[in-house]
Amino acid sequence: MSNSPLSPSPAPSSVFSRLSQPKTVAKQLEEAAVGALPPNPTIENLPKITWKNRRFVQEDSLA
């Protein structure tokens, strides 16, 4: 048996830590603006902006 101390490994990000740190609306809008939309997108294809328990799409995407 080895007496060398074990080096701590970085803890993987857990689901709970991700839930406690939601993306800001501004960050979600930035990410939505970068992505390309498919031709003739439906509501399901549009990037969703989540705020509290609600989901939104950008009005410009609906054209």
* Structure confidence by residue, pLDDT tens digits, 4-50: 556 555 556 666 666 666 789 999 999 988 888 888 888 898 999 99
Distance CA 20, CA 5 (A): 32
Comparison of pLDDT for 18 and 53, the residue scoring more: 53
Decide if pLDDT at 57 tops 70.
yes
* Nearest one of 46, 45, 62, 55 to 23, comparing CA atoms: 55
Phi, psi of 50 (to 5 degrees): -105, 130
Cα gap 17→37, rounded to integer Å: 30
- What φ, ψ does residue 57 adopt, rounded to 5°? -125, 155
| 5 vs 62, more confident | 62
Q: What is the pLDDT of residue 40?
A: 86
